[in-house]
Amino acid sequence: MVQSRSPSLPPTSPAVSIGRHLRWQVILALAGILSLALLLGYSTYQVETVLVPDRGGVFREGIAGRPQYLNPLLCNVTEADQDLCGLLYRGLTRIDKRGRAVPDLASGWTITDDVLYTFRLKPDQYWHDGQPITADDVLFTVGILQSPDLLNLPDLASLWRSVQVEKVDDLTVRFQLSEPFTPFLDYTAIGLLPRHVWGQVPPAQLATMALTSSPIGSGPLQVAQIDTDHIRLEPSPYAGGNRPYIAALEFHFYPDHANLLTAYLNDEIDGISQILPQDLPVATAQPDLQLFSAVQSEYLSVVFNLANPDVPFFQEKEVRQALFYGLDRQRLVDEVAAGQGVVAHSPFLPESWAYDPAIPHYPYDPVRASQLLDAAGWVDSDGDGIRDKDGQPFRFLLYTNDDDLRTRLAERIAADWRALGIDAQPTPVTFAGLVTDFLTPRRFDAALIGWDLTGDPDPYPLWHSTQAEGGGQNYSGWANEEADTLMEQGRAIVNEEERRALYVRFQQLFADELPALPLYYPVYTYGVSSRVHNVQIGALAHPSERFATFAEWYILTRRVPANQVPATLPATPPAAGPTPLSP
């Protein structure tokens, strides 16, 4: 049988050649399509993703000194205590940048007959250990404040001992004052202590007790670790509001401010709690250091001892005015304080609701100063370069504390007055010595000092005539009947507009009488590494408030599709828009 078979195709058959060409063309086409798809996908990913804040990271800040107490009743002892107390504790109220009390743990309050204050606590608020905050904690804290053992704060204890406190229910407390006292709201900003933690400790002991071993508060951060050289805070799971992006805030302790900038340059810290004027040139030269500034709630002034018979020239109003005209305060700020100040015209803060921008100003005018001195009979009668009158040379000691800035300020002030024929002799002493040996016993001629004005603008403690003796702070001894009346009425009236009218008149009297010469409001400067984003501090009642927006700061970032970015996210770093991911 004959079998048929297909003829063999030669290796170079046209059919085989065509098949191979088609196969390669298909492969190349598919490869091209795939490459194009990848490129399009890559481009789409590049355009439609953005950087957003991510959770995590540790922010390390250097502060001068170390905390001694971590007790909200003793927060003003050191800068470190102030910074930490502001994050660990909360009061019924807090003080805003204009000196007003605003709700904090309290949702609000009512005032009846100017003496009855009723506060309502917000519900569902907790201590760091998860226990609820109640009216019992308020009564417990007030009981400690009323203790006679609160010796380091006698004025605070005296005020609270005159207040009756009553628990209305678990979330309501009532304070009964013995007489109208409008600044009382300031005192309700003090941090509360948990009764369930410290209730068994005698008030006498707790009033001076360091809580550094186990501080339990109600602030946004809680203590996670305490070491000799630093303390670590982490967000409290029981705090309300937005949870911070940054996982932990560490405060690292250094002997003084001079060491903070060095620590930053050595990459030991990310933040500098305060940059002093003398350190600004080095700080501004760091490309990775963000600087933030705010006017502080204090002012520097030269206080005259009006009751000292050895310096009778200070008792003449025209002489005090001449001394003010003879001071170049803007130059003082620019050259001595490195520009870190705002010239002051009032004993009130410019941010305060009571401040009057229209009060008389004393511009630098040495000609006018000389005319006033001549008219008052203070002339250089013997040609020795120093003015005199009735045989009394115009010579006095200008005391100040012995830090570098204050000493240089006193020297520049003395130089301005020397040009007028006045011999002011800078006399730096320790701060403790200045207060204890000279200011309190009124054994001084003139003094360059600073005034802390945080909170209610009530000037009574500093300028009322009753505060000119004993432990009062009216170191000048100024006594003006109209000013006294204005101050008395100002702390007894609740209506803010009525109070402001009284304080405007007080500022006018002060500007005319000049028991002290306001120099300038210092500017606080804060430094933070550029790796920390969205830092904002705004106006501050106190530097410890720089962490008010800490929950919105962040260090880490991540990428998400642009259409999935929540509207409430803080801004991303500069130039952090859509960029391609690394392959």
Domain endpoint, select from 154, 185, 211: 211
What are the start-end ranges of the H helices in 376-495? 404-418, 431-433, 460-463, 481-490
Residue given tokens 């080095």 in the structure block: 282
236 domain-assigned: no
What digits encode the pLDDT tens for the residues 483-540? 999 999 999 999 999 999 999 999 999 999 999 999 999 999 999 999 999 999 887 8
556 domain-assigned: no
**CATH code of the domain covering residue 199:** 3.90.76.10
172 domain-assigned: yes
Are residue 369 and residue 516 in the same domain, yes or no? yes
What digits encode the pLDDT tens for the residues 418-463? 999 999 999 999 999 999 999 999 999 999 999 988 789 999 999 9
β-pairing verdict for 446-452 and 556-561: unpaired
Q: Structural domain tally of the chain?
A: 2
Predicted TM-score (pTM) of the model is: 0.84
Domain endpoint, select from 211, 243, 267: 211
**CATH code of the domain covering residue 466:** 3.10.105.10
Quote the pLDDT of residue 453: 87
Are residue 485 and residue 353 in the same domain, yes or no? yes
Domain endpoint, select from 211, 226, 249: 211
Are residue 312 and residue 167 in the same domain, yes or no? no
Are residue 485 and residue 350 in the same domain, yes or no? yes
Average pLDDT over residues 187-213: 85
581 close to 43: Cβ distance less than 8 angstroms: no
Are residue 207 and residue 305 in the same domain, yes or no? no
Quote the pLDDT of residue 205: 79
Average pLDDT over residues 224-251: 94
d(CA 493, CA 502): 10
471 domain-assigned: yes
Are residue 205 and residue 306 in the same domain, yes or no? no
Residue 6: is its pLDDT beyond 60? no
Model confidence band, residue 10 (pLDDT cutoffs 50, 70, 90): very low
d(CA 182, CA 460): 12
572 domain-assigned: no
Domain housing 133? 90-211
448 domain-assigned: yes
Are residue 158 and residue 303 in the same domain, yes or no? no
Give percent of the chain above pLDDT 90. Answer: 73
Are residue 357 and residue 479 in the same domain, yes or no? yes
Quote the pLDDT of residue 536: 92
Are residue 460 and residue 353 in the same domain, yes or no? yes
Residue 88 burial class via C-beta count within 10 angstroms: exposed 0-12, middle 13-18, buried 19 and up = buried
Are residue 205 and residue 302 in the same domain, yes or no? no
Mean pLDDT, the chain, as a whole number? 89
Quote the pLDDT of residue 469: 86
Half-sphere exposure of 335 (CA within 13 A, CB side): 11
What digits encode the pLDDT tens for the residues 297-340? 999 999 999 999 999 999 999 999 999 999 999 999 999 999 99
139 domain-assigned: yes
154 domain-assigned: yes
For every residue of 11-42, DSSP letters joined together read TT-HHHHHHHHHHHHHHHHHHHHHHHHHHHHH
